[in-house]
């Protein structure tokens, strides 16, 4: 079974469509929304759609804590982490392909995909930058085996996730890249170019690409050198 874990914080704009996209999935699965104390209608929407919703009285310090909380109650053999604004075109084809990767690639611990801003709202810059990102992800996962993946979609074998202790809860950012790097120490990760994941591009639209790229590069450097990200808070952008 697949456990789909969606971390949320004030996601009432996206959560309904995120959950509904999995309604057509015929592969055995469960959906877990791990909420971070949202004061909007995120929790009400998710509960109204009949999925399991986890809440917290005190806001989590990092999104890694949201993800780990969802994974802790998951019962599936595979943990599929999606951001609330992540979308796939055909959920059955998508997950069949992902599961086939685990069968066909020896010692595979985790798989990720190719990421694009939703075509109707994507700018030329969005397309250019994500083309580069997708190539980098394929090189890091499939060629040099150092691992890299955004939190927009990661599918991880539950036993491997537990073996490395899940996401690092002390990292405000780069927790998504870090877990793939650590998974490469016990097995393999794979970036499948055919697993297409679309998203809103909301962070780049809110901050602008120059500022966002600076934040990402700074945090990547600091986590690699000091083991600690430069960001002290991961602000939600709607």
User: Which pLDDT score, from 0 to 100, does residue 161 have?
Assistant: 98
Spatial strand order of the sheet with 188-199 comes to 52-54, 29-35, 2-8, 78-82, 153-157, 108-117, 188-199
Say if 95 falls within a structural domain: yes
| Residue, of 212 and 238, whose pLDDT is higher | 212
pTM of the complete model: 0.95
User: Which pLDDT score, from 0 to 100, does residue 233 have?
Assistant: 67
Q: Which of 68-72, 109-113, 147-151, 234-238 has the lowest mean pLDDT?
A: 234-238
DSSP 188: E
Say if 217 falls within a structural domain: no
| Residue, of 65 and 60, whose pLDDT is higher | 65
* Distance of alpha carbon 195 from alpha carbon 104, whole angstroms: 15
* Position 4 pLDDT exceeds 90: yes
Domain extent, residue 120, equals 2-201
Say if 187 falls within a structural domain: yes
CATH number of the domain enclosing 157 = 3.90.550.10
Say if 66 falls within a structural domain: yes
Give pLDDT tens digits for 96-117. 999 999 999 999 999 999 999 9
Say if 185 falls within a structural domain: yes
Half-sphere exposure of 134 (CA within 13 A, CB side): 19
* Position 238 pLDDT exceeds 60: no
Give pLDDT tens digits for 181-210. 999 999 999 999 999 999 999 999 999 999
Q: Looking at residues 61-71, what average pLDDT do you find?
A: 93
Q: What is the total count of domains within the chain?
A: 1
| Residue, of 10 and 59, whose pLDDT is higher | 10
User: Which pLDDT score, from 0 to 100, does residue 234 have?
Assistant: 61
Say if 223 falls within a structural domain: no
Q: What are phi and psi of 136, to 5 degrees?
A: -60, -45
Say if 236 falls within a structural domain: no
User: Which pLDDT score, from 0 to 100, does residue 225 have?
Assistant: 87
User: Which pLDDT score, from 0 to 100, does residue 16 have?
Assistant: 98
User: Which pLDDT score, from 0 to 100, does residue 221 have?
Assistant: 87
DSSP 197: E
Q: Where are the beta strands (DSSP E) in 118-202?
A: 153-157, 188-199
């Amino acid at each position: 079974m697949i456990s789909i874990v969606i971390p949320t914080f004030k996601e009432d704009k996206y959560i309904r469509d995120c959950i509904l996209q999995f309604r057509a999935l015929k592969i055995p699965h469960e959906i877990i929304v791990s909420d971070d104390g949202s004061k909007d209608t995120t929790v009400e929407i998710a509960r109204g759609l009949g999925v399991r919703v986890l809440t917290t009285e005190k806001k989590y310090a990092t999104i890694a804590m949201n993800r780990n909380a969802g994974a802790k109650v998951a019962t599936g053999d595979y943990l599929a982490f999606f951001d609330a604004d992540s979308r796939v075109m055909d959920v059955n084809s998508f997950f069949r392909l992902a599961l086939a990767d685990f069968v066909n690639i020896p010692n595979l611990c985790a798989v990720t995909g190719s990421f694009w801003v939703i075509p109707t709202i994507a700018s030329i810059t969005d397309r250019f930058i994500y083309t580069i990102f997708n190539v980098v992800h394929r090189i890091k996962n499939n060629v040099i085996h150092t691992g890299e993946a955004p939190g927009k979609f990661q599918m991880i074998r539950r036993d491997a996730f537990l073996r490395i202790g899940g996401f690092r809860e002390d990292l405000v950012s780069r927790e998504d890249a870090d877990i793939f790097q650590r998974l490469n120490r016990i097995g393999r990760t794979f970036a499948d170019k055919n697993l297409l994941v679309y998203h809103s591009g909301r962070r780049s639209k809110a901050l602008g690409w120059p500022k966002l790229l600076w934040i990402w590069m700074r945090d990547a450097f600091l986590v690699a050198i000091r083991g600690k990200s430069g960001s002290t808070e991961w602000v939600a952008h709607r």
